[in-house]
Amino acid sequence: MNLSIWLVLLDLIVVTVLITRRLDVRLVLMLGALPLFIAKAGTPAMVAKMADEMSNPATIVPICAAIGFAYVLRTTGCDRELVRLLLSPLRRAPWLLVPGGVLSGYLVNTTIVSQTGAAAVIGPILIPLLRAGGVGPATSGAALLLGASMGGELFNPGAVEMRKLSELTGLTGHQLVARQSSLNFVACGSALLAFWFLTRRRTPVDADSTDAEAQAEPIHPVKAMIPTVPLVLLSVDAALGTASPLASMIGPSKILAAMLIGVALAGMIVPAAIRQLASSFFEGAGYAYTHVISLIVAASTFAEGVRQSGLIELTVQTLADWPTLTVIAATFVPWSLGVVSGTGIAPAVAIMDFFVPAADGLGLDPVRLGTLAALGAHFGRTMSPAAAVVAMSSRLSDARPSELIRRVVPPLLFGMVVMIVVSLLGIV
């Protein structure tokens, strides 16, 4: 190996060690990218890459619009009504409380693509419901954590990973959502079933008092449907093609339009919140840029530095005759980074940048590799002590983070193994 390969390997080790020391992931990735660019293209190329990512409409517009819409849902209370609607059938089927609670979080995460946000929305309703059904605090928190963080957001074309994969493959968000859905269902479904099985083996605790006030208050079905409006619009657009009302728009503009229609409908349903809609939307968009886009900028810049070093080409050549190893690496590398860093975005984006462009040369499906990277990163984040969604689930359930993590690790690892096996066998 030449000197630049040794440099990037050393750089990767240093970056990993610094992340394990709980330093800011963005800072570590940017500092890690600096020597790689200096050794090859120079710092001007690094600044140019950062500028491209900081102004990339393919990621900024959909992600900021999606989080902005989530903030509007919170302001109008539409998100809470959706959660209450999803959870109301579980009151009449106690044996479905745990899997139903996980599934509800998974569904909420498809519309609220922030895992911490999804947990904050569903937790105050789900946790009392589970506790009233005799489920202990740690298991209740683990169910919330699993549902809010496992992979539901990959069904949203505006999610970070879907936008990145769209950029790398040239496919639309809807095409990617459709193509990754079967593997997503298998992986997350296996984890859910394993969690349910392990939960049923534990002795339930005495039931707490029920959330009588929430039960007495009638559900507002129209408000509950508002969070689904953008997904419905984008799905209809994909089905109708040129006949769609959104047909005249392309790419990120189409996703923004769907989100803005959802914002407008939320304002019509909750007139008292109209004055706050704009501020809520842009507050959410600003949050997305600060906490999500910044990670994409850092991860993409670092990935570009690694690519220029020649390590990717060497890796592809090494793995050319080992597709099995590639599938495993595309899953476990982002998983390990997710566990260490507490974020699923940076590992997923970075590994996609590494493996997806090389997929054809390896004889593998680029969408499949991208999905493996995304789900691996999600599963890693869900069992990370550094993850914000773990802290939120712990706070809402009054259980220690370590207790939650101990309960989600076995089912998540089982889901990952199933995901890898079905990928290698070509079952889905």
| pLDDT tier, 205 (very low <50, low <70, confident <90, very high otherwise) | very low
Average pLDDT over every residue of 229-241: 82
Query: Helix, strand, coil shares of the chain as percentages rounded to 5?
Result: 85, 0, 15
Q: What is the model's pLDDT at position 212?
A: 45
Q: What is the model's pLDDT at position 316?
A: 66
> pTM for this one?
0.80
Q: Return d(Cα 381, Cα 344) in angstroms, integer.
A: 5
Average pLDDT over every residue of 132-154: 91
Q: What is the largest CA-CA distance in the chain?
A: 70
Query: Lowest-confidence range among 119-128, 146-155, 191-200, 307-316?
Result: 307-316
Q: Residue 95 to residues 101, 125, 317: CA-CA distances in angstroms?
A: 11, 17, 51
The packing angle between helices 366-382 and 160-169, to 10°, is 160
CA 93 to chain CA centroid, Å, is: 29
Average pLDDT over every residue of 102-113: 89
Q: Is the pLDDT of residue 149 over 70?
A: yes
Q: Return d(Cα 190, Cα 170) in angstroms, integer.
A: 30
Q: pLDDT tens for residues 8-38?
A: 888 888 888 887 787 888 898 899 889 989 9
| pLDDT tier, 143 (very low <50, low <70, confident <90, very high otherwise) | very high
Give SS3 for 114: coil
Q: pLDDT tens for residues 347-374?
A: 888 888 888 988 888 888 999 999 999 9
Output the CA angle 183-387-331, nearest 5 degrees. Answer: 30
Q: Residue 33 to residues 18, 40, 42, 291, 305: CA-CA distances in angstroms?
A: 14, 11, 11, 19, 6
Q: What is the model's pLDDT at position 359?
A: 86
Query: Lowest-confidence range among 15-19, 48-52, 90-94, 164-168?
Result: 90-94
Q: Is the pLDDT of residue 139 over 80?
A: yes
- The first and second tokens of residue 386, run together, are 């550094």
Q: What is the model's pLDDT at position 209?
A: 42
Return mean pLDDT, the chain: 86
Give SS3 for 156: coil
